[in-house]
Amino acid sequence: MNAIPFDNSYARLPGSMHVAVAPTPVSAPRLIKVNEPLARELGINPALLTAEVAVGNAIPEGASPLAQAYAGHQFGNFVPQLGDGRAILLGEVVDVTGKRRDIQLKGSGRTPFSRGGDGRAALGPVLREYLVSEAMNALGIPTTRALMAATTGERVYRDAVLPGAVLTRVAASHIRVGTFQFFAVRQDFEALKLLVDHVSGRHYPHLKGAGNPALALLDAVMDAQAALVARWVQVGFIHGVMNTDNCSISGETIDYGPCAFMDAYDPGTVFSSIDTYGRYAYGNQAPIAQWNMARLAETLLAFIDKDREEAIRIATERIEGFPAIYTKYWLAGFRKKLGLVSEEDGDLELIQAMLDSLQMARADFTVTFRSLSNGEAPDALKDWLPAWRARLARDPQTAEERRALMQAANPVYIPRNHLVEETIGAAVERQDYRPFEVMLCVLMTPYVEQAGAERYAAPPAEVDGAYRTFCGT
Ligand code: AMP
Ligand code: MG
């Protein structure tokens, strides 16, 4: 294992889809963290993952660095050209399970897509993405991963002067709804067709031979997004910036900018300082995913049917089917969280009544579900518990089986905001990375109680309604 086994399929696609560009070297790179288990999963010798590689000062053999073109709707407004303004795709590797994965540097300098930006990332957002994306993976939720984090030795200028850093991100691909939009708005049907084929072969190989490849792809992406958002909702995750350029075609969670986990249950919860109207509030994430899927469908119309009216009719019907697909995943997930293996018509109402009780009591989402799993009777649910117990009596599991099912569906540890902030603060203000290491370690086994880790399971002392996250710029 003397070189990273790159095989760069995106670089082989036409030049209209990307621009070759190298990272901009920095003065004093220092490694913060290498994710060795992930390196091994990728078939990469961790010894190759040096500070120089992590910041882009050294380009590993076989890489073909490029910035990808994409467009996107940001908070509902269409921007015809966004693209990798501060990220550079080094290339792809086929991992030990045969899955193709992108390796990308984020914060590695300017590209032709940078517009007014500096192409850089600050240390805080890099650590946030590392912690939260790895926590999501440990929770079993599809996500981009963090392979390395390193500081650059240089400053970045935001509201304050901050230490610069680079994150090495691994993804099934970085192809987004916005990638399709980039070519659709330019009426570049040749590129769109290549993209459909590339994405289908890469993420949805079971679609091979489908009669209508574009429609089959739309169905597959809708299914993946519905499943993903249901998983978010079941751990209290709020993405915060579900723009179409942050909506992955593979169905992974991508772009950990203003994301956060909810403490007290409230579907109106918004954390992002720039989300003034609550477009990306916790409870609005499924309708927004559906909206994003409608934007994807629009880019595919020419391939869905030669007759435009007919294409619109077919696509509309598909998009209208999204809530039913989402509800299927939502129900399946919440049944597990409540320890049910059988299905009954009234389950949706039972679950909703539980969530309403949580909201009334402003009870902590994660703690309450875990308490239920441990056989405790949370006070916030006392009026609801009899209905649940009556339902459990009709479910065919033993108490032990149910407890195991519920404990595997209800985490003890999520990356709570106040702890993420504390951890980032220690690193940024005091160059103390121990809290980061400890928190990361706790979050790696989120479903198992760990002795001494009690503070990572506890909600913040005061319900912090004013908590705000900022875009990871
Ligand atoms: P994001 O908000 O991270 O999804 O980014 C939206 C768009 O802004 C993408 O095209 C990014 O590449 C670009 N962008 C964000 N931050 C920077 C930066 N510091 N320098 C250059 N481009 C940026
Ligand atoms: Mg983005």
The predicted-structure confidence for 125-135, as pLDDT tens digits, reads as follows 999 999 999 99
The minimum-distance atom of ligand 1 relative to the CA of 116 is 21
Compute the average pLDDT of residues 118-124.
Answer: 98
pLDDT at 469 over 70: no
- Number of Cβ atoms within 10 Å of the Cβ of 32: 21
How many Cα atoms are found within 13 Å in the side-chain-facing hemisphere of 260? 27
Residue 107 Cβ inside 6 Å of ligand 1? The answer reads no
Output the CA torsion sign for 18, 22, 26, 30: positive
Average confidence (pLDDT) over 20-35: 98
386 lines ligand 1 (CB under 6 A): no
The overall longest dimension of the chain from CA atoms, in Å, is: 65
- pLDDT tens for residues 296-336? 999 999 999 999 999 999 999 999 999 999 999 999 999 99
Confidence of residue 470 (pLDDT cuts 50, 70, 90): low
Ligand 2 centre distance from Cα of residue 190 (Å): 25
User: Which pLDDT does position 2 carry in this prediction?
Assistant: 79
Nearest-atom number in ligand 1 for the CA of 121 is: 19
CA distance 18 to 20: 7
Structure tokens at 56: 């882009």
Pick 471 or 241 by higher pLDDT: 241
Average pLDDT for 207-236: 97
Substitution candidate for ligand 1 out of 79, 82, 86 with most atoms within 8 A of CB: 86
| CA R_g for the chain | 22
Check pocket membership of 117 for ligand 1, CB cut-off 6 A. yes
Backbone angles phi, psi at 386, to 5 degrees: -60, -40
For residue 467, pLDDT beyond 80: no
What distance in angstroms lies between residue 416's CA and the mean position of ligand 2's atoms? 22
| Helical segments of 96-212, H only | 123-139, 177-185, 189-203
Which ligand sits closest to the CA of 80? 1
Task: Give, as one character, the DSSP assignment of residue 411.
Answer: -
In 10 A of CB 352, how many CB atoms? 11
CA–centroid distance, 245 to ligand 2, in Å, is 6
pLDDT at 197 over 90: yes
Residues 253, 259, 261, 264, CA torsion sign:
negative
User: What is the set of active-site residues?
Assistant: 245
Q: Which of 114, 154, 243, 247 to mutate to test the pocket of ligand 1 (most atoms within 8 A of CB)?
A: 114
High-pLDDT (> 90) share of the chain, %: 96
Q: How far is the CA of 25 from the centre of ligand 2 (A)?
A: 23
Cβ-proximal residues to 98 (8 Å cutoff; 6+ apart), any chain: none
Q: Which ligand is nearest to the CA of 107?
A: 1
Give yes or no for residue 364 CB within 6 A of ligand 1: no
- Does residue 471 line the site of ligand 1, with CB under 6 A? yes
The pLDDT score that the predictor gives to residue 69 is 98
Query: Is any ligand 1 atom within 6 A of the Cβ of residue 252?
Result: no
pLDDT digits (tens, 9 = 90+) for 249-282: 999 999 999 999 999 999 999 988 899 899 999 9
- Ligand 1 atom 17, closest CA: 117
Per-residue confidence at 225, pLDDT binned at 50, 70, 90?
very high
Supply the residue whose CA is at minimum distance from atom 14 of ligand 1: 85
- Taking residue 82's Cβ as centre, other Cβ atoms within 10 Å add up to 22
The per-residue pLDDT for range 370-418, each reduced to its tens digit, is 999 999 999 999 999 999 999 999 999 999 999 999 999 999 999 999 9
Residue 339 confidence (pLDDT) above 80: yes
**Distance between terminal CA atoms of the chain?**
35
Residue partners of 16: CB distance under 8 A and separation at least 6: 69, 183, 188, 191
Helix (H, G, I), strand (E, B) or coil at 155: strand
pLDDT at residue 264 in the model: 97
Of 466 and 90, more confident:
90
Which ligand minimizes its atom distance to the CA of 176?
A: 2
**Residue 203 pLDDT greater than 60, yes or no:** yes
pLDDT tens-digit map of 127-180? 999 999 999 999 999 999 999 999 999 999 999 999 999 999 999 999 999 999
Query: Is the CB of 64 inside a 6 Å radius of any atom of ligand 1?
Result: no
**Phi-psi group of 43: left, alpha or beta (phi > 0 → left; psi -120 to 50 → alpha; rest → beta):** left
- Contact (CB, 8 A) for 133 and 253: yes
Task: Kindly give the distance from the C-alpha atom of residue 303 to the centroid of ligand 2, in angstroms, as a whole number.
Answer: 27
Contacts of 331 (CB under 8 A, 6+ apart): 343, 347, 348, 351
The reply to whether the predicted model has a pTM over 0.95 is: yes
- For residue 248, the CA-to-ligand 2 centroid distance in Å is 10
* Average pLDDT, rounded, for the chain: 96
Q: At what angle do helices 322-337 and 213-234 cross, to 10 degrees?
A: 30
Tell me if 86 CB under 6 Å of ligand 1.
yes
DSSP per residue over 345-405, as a string?
TTHHHHHHHHHHHHHHHT-BHHHHHHHHHTT---GGGTTTHHHHHHHHTTS---HHHHHHH
Looking at the DSSP bridge assignments, the partners of residue 31 are: 150
Residue 244 has pLDDT above 90, yes or no: yes
For ligand 1, atom 7, name the residue with the nearest CA.
Answer: 82
**Binding site membership of 83 for ligand 1 (Cβ less than 6 Å):** yes
Q: What is the DSSP letter of 25?
A: P
Ligand 1 neighbourhood includes 246 CB (under 6 angstroms): yes
Ligand 1, atom 13: closest residue by C-alpha: 85
Mean pLDDT of 33-38: 98
- Which of the four pLDDT bands, split at 50, 70 and 90, describes residue 461? confident
